[in-house]
Structure 1
Amino acid sequence: MQCLVAIKRAYLLGILGVLLLVAILLYFSFNPEQGLLFPKCPFNQYLGIYCSGCGTQRAIHDLLHFRFVEAMSHNFLLLPAFLAIIHHFLVKWKVIKGKSLLSYRYAPLIVLAIVLIFMLLRNLPIAPFTHLAP
């Protein structure tokens, strides 16, 4: 029975790995600014405001091309989020020792507060917050 569970887990991880590779190849090959392949943000399209994720597709494209400054200009929150997620999985897989920042009791509430504050600040029409807009 355990062997069957291990096979199912390996199969699922294989499928997720292939999907991740396809997504990376898509974002590397196609610029979200110049094509209709990627969806537009419904918050921005219908409400005219920038959500916390606006600019993420362009930022991922820039990160895959090692353009870190451009990626940060599209979505300042993306790189810290990636680093926190990578740190979480490195701790979970016991590559590094310690406790993940995302495993603390109030981590989900803190992340939610950061995301909502970022969304509020990037929509303020005054400097320096205008630099947070994608």
Structure 2
Amino acid sequence: MPTIKKSVLLIGLGVLSVLAILLYFSFNPEKGLFFPKCPSYQYLGIYCSGCGSQRAIHDLLHFRFGEAISHNLLLIPALFVIVQHGLVKAKVLKTKSFLNYRYAPIIVLIIVLLFMFLRNLKMYPFEYLAP
């Protein structure tokens, strides 16, 4: 199996990212079409931590920050962490990635599970976390 150079892989990821951004900018996931539905909501009736993320990405690309937050409050901080991690890995930033700390995976897991639990509570103020 031939070895793929890192630069070719990065270019491929860049092209896929641009295509995904164009797709989410051009089409509203709320209208359905070809965007996948959340299996946990579709089959179990519960919101997962990612529910509303597709709509939130569409809203962010159109600078509708309030609507993006209402669809998925956790998406914006997650995007900051992912971008910061990518910039550190690409050696653009000379700092340590948040995700490289010892307890980062446990903390991320706790936040994601707690967010999922709270957004399914049908009481004030947690009902605002639902997409």
TM (norm. structure 2) is: 0.92
Which of residues 56, 69, 88 is equivalent to 2:85? 88
Q: Which protein is bigger by CA-based radius of gyration?
A: 1
Q: How does 1:12-91 map to 2 (within 5 A)?
A: 12-91=9-88
Q: Give the % identical residues.
A: 70
Deviations 1:40-95 (A, max 9, x none): 00100010010000000000000111111110100000000001111222233333
Where structure 2 has 5 or more consecutive residues not aligned to the other structure, the ranges are: none
Q: CA deviation at 1:14?
A: 1.6
What is the Cα deviation at residue 12 of structure 1?
1.5
State how many pairs are aligned.
130
Give 1:20 deviation, angstroms: 0.9
- Supply the RMSD in Å over aligned alpha carbons: 1.5
Corresponding residue of 1:117: 114
Looking at structure 2, the residues matched to 98 and 29 of structure 1 have their Cα atoms a distance apart, in angstroms, of 35
State the Cα distance separating 1:18 from its structure 2 match.
Answer: 1.2
| Unaligned 5+ runs, structure 1 | none
